[in-house]
Structure 1
Amino acid sequence: MSEPPGAAVSLAEAPPAASPPKSLTAQRVQPLRRPGRWIVTAVVLVLVAQILHGLATNPFYQWARFRYWFLRPTILDGLVVTLEVAALSAVLGLLGGILLALGRLSGSPVLRAVSWTYTWLFRSVPLIVVLIFLYNFSALYKTLSLGIPFGPAFVSFDESKLATDMTVAVIGLGLNEAAYAAEVVRGGILSVDQGQHEAAAALGLPRGYQFTRIVFPQALRSITPNYVNQLIGLVKSTSLVFYVSLLDLFGSVQTMGSTYPGDIVPLLLVATVWYLILTSVVSVVQFYVERYFARGATRSLPPTPLQKARAGLADFRARLRREAAV
């Protein structure tokens, strides 16, 4: 049977068959271009390079004298005093802050009023004033006693024998730190969902057990970052104990700077680097403490710096393999 004219199409005139599409794995994804980010990055790198170049080449910093003073026994002795004062004040401040926070949340109007007044007073008075006042406390009260108010005293002791320079520094910093820690702890307790309090009360658990085993562990997730921020401020605030005749790190630097006036700048750099090291250690501890208390609150724990480094290295190797395959 003959076909109508024009119906037959020769093979030469037939359209070419469409080539099959590449698989998604074979296609190369083009990253989104961000020229603004690259420009800002380049500017920041140039500024950082200029700062580092200035630090390395400016003779004013006297890096040779910096290396000489960095591990001198005088500096290390002051560093030990700084660590002792910071550690003892942190413990005293945290314990006092917990008690003050519980007083603020108490049903007793007397406890609420006393806790609020304490927090208001020590947050209003500068720390240096508190330290100087305590340092001269013996001028106001030469003897301290325990007994009945307006009645006989059972125990009396000389205040000047107890108030050593270390004691004055720890008590002054601890009292000041407690006022700030109280608000941090109170905010952390208030951040716990009210349903947790109601569920614990419905189980008939004692109030102390509710707080220590249910409420406070959950509040620590909010307390930890804020209190560590306060702790870093406390480490730097220890430099003020020099004014109550305690030779901490900053006090040792000041003393050596008076003896060697030509080394003031490298000595200040020594103090700066040591404070940077101390605050960095506190920040690392903060990361692992937050990671510990994040268990059960997040689907996966945040990776540690070592885990991030391993993941970055593995991603870099995989990228190199993909580039080689292409």
Structure 2
Amino acid sequence: MAGMLKDKVVLVTGAGGGIGREMALLCAREGAKVVVNDLGGAVDGEGGGSQAPAQKVCDEIKAAGGIAIPDYGSVADPAAAEAMIKQAVENFGRIDGVINNAGILRDRIFHRMSHLDWKQVIDVHLHGAFNTSRAAANYFKEQKSGAFVHFTSTSGLVGNFGQANYAAAKMGIVGLSRSIALDMKAFNVRSNCVSPFAWTRMIGTIPADTPQQVARLERSKRMTPAKIAPMAVYLLSDAADGVTSQIFGVRMNEILLFSANRPVRSVHMSDGWTPQSIAETAIPAMRPHFISLDRSPEYFTWDPI
């Protein structure tokens, strides 16, 4: 049914291309007024200042009969994040949803990762999600409604090579989302995460040094960004009432629900533990339940259809 976001106002960050663009377009088709944010920078966060990506998406939305305005700020800047929300309220009278999609990659194997590589990725992903969410929180509180959709990744949920910065940021976003869900439940505010499987310009930067890696990336090209947008739109809609603090994956036509971190096994020693008894008793009892060191591409072995 069309119109699931009728009369709602939504901010989509990183919406100048890829998944963000598809979400902005679908939000508009479903009746939302959209603030299309994009810094106009490179995948690694360098550059910026190009207004073309955000403006182009706004032009597409308007050509299809929708309503949108561009924003060119950096989510890593708290003042710019506040300005995004303020622009929505000043132009459209309210803010109903925030999609925290903006991101960059600065992949390095851990022993070669610089502090700058670490900081810039954390700033955009984790600090950026906080900045925009915090800017919207008081509006949501006052109107007793609102929804956040944050983007996480299996690079954090499962693991991957060379992405300690990205994985840490994406796992931090999971904790942020749950905290928001807990703190703002009383105000009818929802907060959920989406872990997307889709071919984007960021995925296109991943090295492919073996025939197996090349084949995997070629398969990834089938997973178009448009497949991700419906879940994000649903989570912003009133139909998602009561759905909060969840982690969803979208992989082509498959939707996954991820578990949260909870104990899977416990052992008890009435006299207390020693290093020796841990080695002899506790660890052997727990070992069958250990998480394996699989990477995301090794865990998700089935082809998307």
TM-score bracket relative to the smaller structure:
under 0.3
What TM-score, normalized to structure 2? 0.23
- The structure that is strand-richer by fraction is 2
What TM-score, normalized to structure 1? 0.22
